[in-house]
Amino acid sequence: MLTTPPEVEIALAESAPSAGFWRESWRRFCRRRLALVALAFVVALMAIAAAAPFIAGTKPIICKYKGHIYFPALGYYNRAWENPIFAKDRFRGRYAGTLAEKDPDSWAIFPLVYQDPYRRVRAGEWPDQPENPFGKEGVPSRYNWFGTNPQGFDVFASMVHGAQTAVSVGFVSMGIAAAIGITLGALAGYFGGWIDVLISRVIEVVMCIPSLVLILALVAMLDKVSNVHLMVIVGCTGWTGIARLTRAEFMKLKQLEFVSAARAMGAGASRVMFIHILRNALAPVLVPITFGIADAILIESGLSFLGFGASPPNPSWGTLLSAGRRSIEETWWLIVFPGAAIFLTVLAYNLIGEGLQEATDPRLRQDAH
Amino acid sequence: MPASSPLRSLLLLVPACSLLWLISGCSSESAKSAAEKPAAAEASPSSESAAANRSSTETSQANNPSAQQEPENAPQGAAPTLDPKAPFELGNALEKFDPPSLEELDKLKWNDGRIADGMALLRDEKSSQPAPALTAEEALKLRNDSPENNAKILAALGVLQPEGGEGVNFDAKMIRHAGGDLNSTNPLFSSSVTDGEFADLTGLAIMSFDRQLKNFAPKDVVVSWQTSDDGLIDRFVLRDDITWSDGKPFTAYDVEFTFKLIMSDHALLVIPAVRGSGTDQIKAVKAYDDHTVVIFHKEALATNITNINFPILPKHIYENSVKEDPSLKRSAYHTEQEAKPVTAGPYEYVSRKRGEEFVVRRRESYYMHDGKQVRDKPNFAEVRVKTIEDLNTALLALKSGDIQQMELRAEQWADQTNGADFYAKNTKVTAPEWTEFHIEWNQRTADGKSPSPFFGDSRVRWAMTYAMDYDELINTITRGLYQQGQGTFHPTSWMFPKNPPALIKQDLDKAEDLLAEAGWTDSDGDGIRDKEINGQIVPFEFQLMTSQTETGIQTATLMKECLEQIGVIANVKPTEFVVMQDKLIKHEFDASLGGWGAGTDPSMQSNIYGTGAQRNYGQYSNPKVDKLFEQGVRELDPAKRAEIYGQIHLQLWEDQPVTWLFYRNAFFGFNKTLRGYNFGALGPFKYSPGFSSLFVPAATP
């Protein structure tokens, strides 16, 4: 039996462990400053989206009313989370004045900006804040940082809440796409044979389905269109690229020794596929997912722009853009801010995707030569 | 002046639908197209049954260009099983009727009808008003930024041309705007606003109406008009100096022939709108000689006059050809007629480019007869009507002078027409129009068998009415340009009650109380009102359907915001026009935003609010209202009629089958060279003289 000489064993133990694939990739990713900035942008965007009701809104983040503590701002996430006591006491969504009026001992902490993405703030709601201007009067000002839309809704509030749409559309739809794509791609690549033939044909069929037409058909049928519907459709039609890449990776990797080793040790097919092969195949798959997120955001904005998005009032960047389109000569702020947001977000995802690609693909490493 | 021509438009426009359905709604973008399009008038599905069913004075329904094809699919012959190969039989949809002889008719007692010249009527009306404060040149320097300036501009530019035609530049060419393409040059196939405009320019009719929609027989066509004492017969004597554009005389036989043609059933002949627009209410039309034509009615009704509004085709052109090709469209001969129609109106067809424009020119044989001028000379040498569907593009064309007139959207009026770029070549004016917008509440389930859980209760409908924030609606969404709704008839119309309902102010407390009274409370604490119906907790969440126009969506969104404050969820659903129309007709909706334009006669509203009526989308039913409509159409005394319709107005208000939002104004941009425009109940063109009064002064600035 062959044994390692003791001195070699000692040398191995003493040298620093070599960096793993992911750590190595991250190190390389960090070298690309643009990609890093883009990642920071996306992380910030996600933070903004998650905390949207605390940044802009007209419902208190926390308030004490008649001896109890409430969190009405949660109503922005889900209507039922806004305590019914406020409906019963006929607050009608106007907390600022009504709280003090109904209970002098009450106190409340309001969001940073007292503006609402779903309605126009009227005069007298908030001390010293005038009513929102509308139409072409809605230029950016102290109270409306990014101006207002033709109906007088605050653009900043709409954009902050619209970030939720942008972020969730990207992640949820690509999450769905990745789940379907990776599973099917893995099956096809690992098993080959008739399974591969079948799945490949399915991929080709799905590639032929125009997701836009599917979405339009769905929008026509549904009573209440929400972003979830858009996400599901984009996800269910956008997985083909991911599946093909996964399949190719699996075909390549299943020939390697470590797969044979795993099999030899008695690992079942699913264990080999998802524990051993997948983690090695994931890097190239992440790239189309990142680009896919950018695409999904563009699709959602485009649909909202065309008026086929979620039922109004939906504070989406595309909706704002389309409101600006009709009076482009007067209301520049309806084009500039949401346009910039869409552009930057899509650009950021693309930069991240590119960074990932270069960081994880050894052939693209500059130092590899 | 060709009073007839406006009539024609009316014919398409109004009677057709008496109530233009302005679904596209609230005035915005395609609004124009859809709003006015409805005028277009299209097939009325039950036209053939209308004869049997007096109560549904079929108004044909609003339409827009995309829906124009629809009628094609629903041929309106009496029986759906008509044989396309069957020989054509003229007037086979008519009941057999033996007209009395001329001598017998002479024995009847006759009352003279009103014969007038639309232009002279307008001139009279204007002479009783104070002279405009400014000259046209001064008024054109004004910016239309206040009601006072609007009044000044309207007064100064509404000044009519001097009598005798001096000071008019008869060489002027005019370029108008149309929101949709011309479908057919044959007025029988008219199905869009643009078709109506073509018929308006090139056609002739024996009845017309003025700015207040009061009827008269135009002097240019009719020598005398008499109505029999029992109100069942109208006798017209036509002038003998009218000719068709091919030189043949225009006679009473043309009128009779066209009527019979319209009332013919054949599988291939599809007439979209005309028959259902009142023509089918006429019992018979008989020409006794070249100039005497008598119209027999089925009953003595106030609407008899407005039913005499069908277009007139040349008998000598179609008499034989219709037997060979009953479709009037397919044969080479009819294609040729379509390409070069023979018309009798002030303008004649020159050319058209599909999807782009059509051109008509002044017809000399219209105003000259045997070397003498017998009618007013039409004011334009040529009228070009350009089709530009996108209204932003149209506005650019107006600014650059490529078109000389267009109807503006409210947003365009408010935001895009204030700069020097607009006023360089144009001015703009606004005036009230008899058009109302509302949210219709469906009171029953789609099958009509049981009341809707939501809106079957009038307290709930009133709660909705009280929930709406009218200040916000009028001042923000409609930019203060529209007037708040006060019921179905327009406040300036003669039907409007003397003691009108007060304007509603938003009152959420009242709305909440009414909802609670009707059983809608938030029992499960999820912030949404609910009610136990048949053992199930039903949340108050409904769909609010609206057109895809900006104003429509904004109004619906505002309603949603208001209702959310009182725990009612409205899901706004912007819907494509054709789909919306289909859902409305099938009653598959909860609530819907829409609008109606005035018809020539208020009795046509029975088609909207009568029990089971065709346009009664919300399935409203009140026997009292039905009875009043029945009375209204039979009452011939104008004062009493006004009172009856006033009662209807008030009863409807009490029942709130719809929540009335606002009355829409007409907004128009005109090139500075144009003069002589005045607004009626249906805008600047749909009356007599309407378009005929426009002119370009001899020396334009």
pLDDT single digits (tens) B171-181: 999 999 988 88
Mutation site, B412, B469, B476, interface A, largest A CB count within 10 A: B476
Contact state of B561 with A329 under an 8 Å Cβ cutoff: no
Burial pattern B201-218, b for ≥16 Cβ within 10 A else e, equals: bbbbbbbbbbbebbbbbb
**Of A291, A179, A199, A177, nearest to A248 (Cα)?**
A199
Contacts of A325 in chain B (CB under 8 A): none
The domain defined by A155-364 carries CATH number 1.10.3720.10:
yes
Contact state of B543 with A120 under an 8 Å Cβ cutoff: no
Cis peptide before B574 (omega within 30 of 0): no
Give, in order, the Cα–Cα distances in Å from B679 to each of A257, B1, B367.
88, 17, 25
Contact state of B522 with A88 under an 8 Å Cβ cutoff: yes
Is a pLDDT exceeding 80 seen at residue B14?
no
Contact state of B573 with A311 under an 8 Å Cβ cutoff: yes
Distance from CA of B521 to the nearest CA of A (A): 9
Cα–Cα distance measured from residue B125 to residue A52, given in angstroms and rounded to the nearest whole number:
62
User: What percent of chain B is modeled with pLDDT above 70?
Assistant: 88
Q: Residue B622 is encoded by which pair of tokens?
A: 């009140």
pLDDT single digits (tens) B378-424: 999 999 999 998 888 899 999 999 999 999 988 788 878 888 899 99
Pairing between β-strand A56-57 and β-strand A113-114 as defined by DSSP bridges:
parallel
pLDDT single digits (tens) B645-679: 999 999 999 999 999 999 988 899 999 999 889 98
Contacts of B572 in chain A (CB under 8 A): 311-313
- Residue in chain A closest to B557 (alpha carbons) equals A313
Enumerate residues 6+ apart whose C-beta is below 8 A from B122: B160, B210, B211, B678, B689, B693
Contact state of A312 with B415 under an 8 Å Cβ cutoff: no
Across the interface, of B525, B553, B554, the residue whose CB is closest to A84 is B525
Q: Report helix angle A211-221 to A278-306, nearest 10.
A: 60
Contact state of A313 with B472 under an 8 Å Cβ cutoff: no
Q: Residue A59 is encoded by which pair of tokens?
A: 């419902």
Q: Residue A24 is encoded by which pair of tokens?
A: 């190595």
pLDDT-derived band at B78 (thresholds 50, 70, 90) equals very low
Terminal CA-to-CA distance of chain A, rounded, Å?
Answer: 39
Contact state of A82 with B527 under an 8 Å Cβ cutoff: yes
Mutation site, B413, B546, B565, B588, interface A, largest A CB count within 10 A: B565
**Of B501, B499, B497, B498, nearest to B484 (Cα)?**
B501
Q: Is there a contact between B246 and B272 (Cβ–Cβ < 8 Å)?
A: no
Contact state of B415 with A330 under an 8 Å Cβ cutoff: yes
- How many Cβ atoms are within 10 Å of A334's Cβ, its own excluded? 27
Enumerate residues 6+ apart whose C-beta is below 8 A from B645: B489, B495, B602, B628, B632
CATH class of segment(s) B59-425+684-693: alpha beta
Mutation site, B550, B555, B583, interface A, largest A CB count within 10 A: B550
Torsion A318-A320-A321-A323 (CA) sign: positive
Out of B70-84, B293-307, B431-445, B684-698, pick the least confident. B70-84
Report which residue type is found at B306.
T
Is a pLDDT exceeding 80 seen at residue B220?
yes
Contact state of B416 with A152 under an 8 Å Cβ cutoff: no
The pLDDT value given to residue B79: 45
Tally A–B CB contacts below 8 A.
Answer: 77
* Mean pLDDT across B473-478: 87
Is a pLDDT exceeding 50 seen at residue B112?
yes
Give, in order, the Cα–Cα distances in Å from B81 to each of B268, B276, B432.
12, 20, 46
The pLDDT value given to residue B659: 93
**Of B649, B598, B591, nearest to B440 (Cα)?**
B591
Contact state of B477 with A84 under an 8 Å Cβ cutoff: no
Across the interface, of A151, A311, A327, the residue whose CB is closest to B476 is A151
Q: Where are the domains of chain B?
A: 6-19+432-665, 59-425+684-693
Mutation site, B543, B553, B579, B590, interface A, largest A CB count within 10 A: B553
Distance from CA of B35 to the nearest CA of A (A): 19
Distance from CA of B49 to the nearest CA of A (A): 33
Distance from CA of A340 to the nearest CA of B (A): 24
For B608, the 3-state DSSP assignment is helix
Q: Is there a contact between B279 and B259 (Cβ–Cβ < 8 Å)?
A: yes
- The residue behind tokens 């109100």 is B231
Pairing between β-strand B372-373 and β-strand B368-369 as defined by DSSP bridges:
antiparallel
Enumerate residues 6+ apart whose C-beta is below 8 A from A328: A335
Distance from CA of B525 to the nearest CA of A (A): 5
pLDDT-derived band at B68 (thresholds 50, 70, 90) equals very low
The pLDDT value given to residue B25: 35
Mutation site, B529, B571, B590, interface A, largest A CB count within 10 A: B571
Distance from CA of B687 to the nearest CA of A (A): 32
The pLDDT value given to residue B459: 92
How far is C-alpha A207 from the chain's CA centre? 23
Range ranked top by mean pLDDT from A317-331, B120-134, B616-630: B616-630
* Mean pLDDT across B528-556: 88
Across the interface, of B525, B550, B557, the residue whose CB is closest to A326 is B550
* Mean pLDDT across B365-386: 90
Q: Report helix angle A193-208 to A240-253, nearest 10.
A: 160
The pLDDT value given to residue B62: 34
Contact state of A119 with B561 under an 8 Å Cβ cutoff: yes
DSSP label at B252?
A: H
Contact state of B553 with A312 under an 8 Å Cβ cutoff: yes
Across the interface, of B29, B526, B574, the residue whose CB is closest to A312 is B574
Q: Is there a contact between B25 and B594 (Cβ–Cβ < 8 Å)?
A: yes
Cα–Cα distance measured from residue B484 to residue B471, given in angstroms and rounded to the nearest whole number:
9
Contact state of B557 with A151 under an 8 Å Cβ cutoff: yes
Is a pLDDT exceeding 70 seen at residue B164?
yes
Out of A316-330, B6-20, B172-186, B249-263, pick the least confident. B6-20
- The residue behind tokens 């001992």 is A105
Q: Which run of H or E residues covers position A261?
A: helix A257-264
pLDDT tens for the 369 residues of chain A, in order: 455 566 656 555 566 667 777 888 888 888 888 999 999 999 999 999 999 999 998 888 888 888 888 888 888 888 878 888 888 888 887 888 788 888 888 888 888 888 888 888 888 888 888 888 888 788 888 888 898 888 888 999 999 999 998 899 889 999 999 999 999 999 999 998 999 999 999 999 998 988 788 888 887 787 777 888 888 888 888 899 899 999 999 999 888 888 889 888 988 888 888 888 888 888 888 888 998 899 888 988 888 888 777 777 888 888 888 888 877 777 889 889 999 999 999 999 999 988 888 888 777 665 544
What length is written for chain B? 701
The pLDDT value given to residue B349: 92
Cα–Cα distance measured from residue B14 to residue A369, given in angstroms and rounded to the nearest whole number:
81
The pLDDT value given to residue B200: 86
Contact state of A150 with B508 under an 8 Å Cβ cutoff: no
Helix, strand, coil percent values for chain A (each to nearest 5) = 65, 5, 30
- Residue in chain B closest to A222 (alpha carbons) equals B573
**Of A350, A318, A279, A364, nearest to A42 (Cα)?**
A350
Chain A residues within 8 Å of chain B (Cβ atoms) = 75, 79-80, 82, 84, 87-88, 90, 92-93, 118-120, 122, 134-136, 150-152, 220, 223-224, 307, 311-313, 323, 326-327, 329-330
Distance from CA of B506 to the nearest CA of A (A): 13
How far is C-alpha B28 from the chain's CA centre? 18
Is a pLDDT exceeding 70 seen at residue B700?
no
Is a pLDDT exceeding 70 seen at residue B620?
yes
Q: Where are the domains of chain A?
A: 56-137, 155-364
- The residue behind tokens 């591969």 is A196
Architecture of domain B6-19+432-665: Roll (3.10)
Contact state of A327 with B415 under an 8 Å Cβ cutoff: yes
How far is C-alpha A357 from the chain's CA centre? 20
Q: Residue A264 is encoded by which pair of tokens?
A: 């030899």
Out of A341-345, B301-305, B517-521, pick the least confident. B301-305
Contacts of B559 in chain A (CB under 8 A): none
The pLDDT value given to residue B176: 93
Q: Which long-range contacts (CB under 8 A, 24 or more apart) does A327-333 make?
A: A327/A136, A327/A150, A327/B411, A327/B415, A327/B416, A329/B416, A330/A136, A330/B415, A330/B416, A331/A136, A331/A138, A331/A147, A331/A150, A333/A138, A333/A139, A333/A140, A333/A146, A333/A147, A333/A155
Sort A192 into a burial class: Cβ within 10 Å, 0-12 / 13-18 / 19+.
middle
Say whether the ipTM exceeds 0.85.
no
Instruction: Give the ranges where A192-210 is alpha helix by DSSP (H).
Output: 193-208
Cα–Cα distance measured from residue B548 to residue B282, given in angstroms and rounded to the nearest whole number:
39
- Residue in chain A closest to B473 (alpha carbons) equals A151
Distance from CA of B551 to the nearest CA of A (A): 9
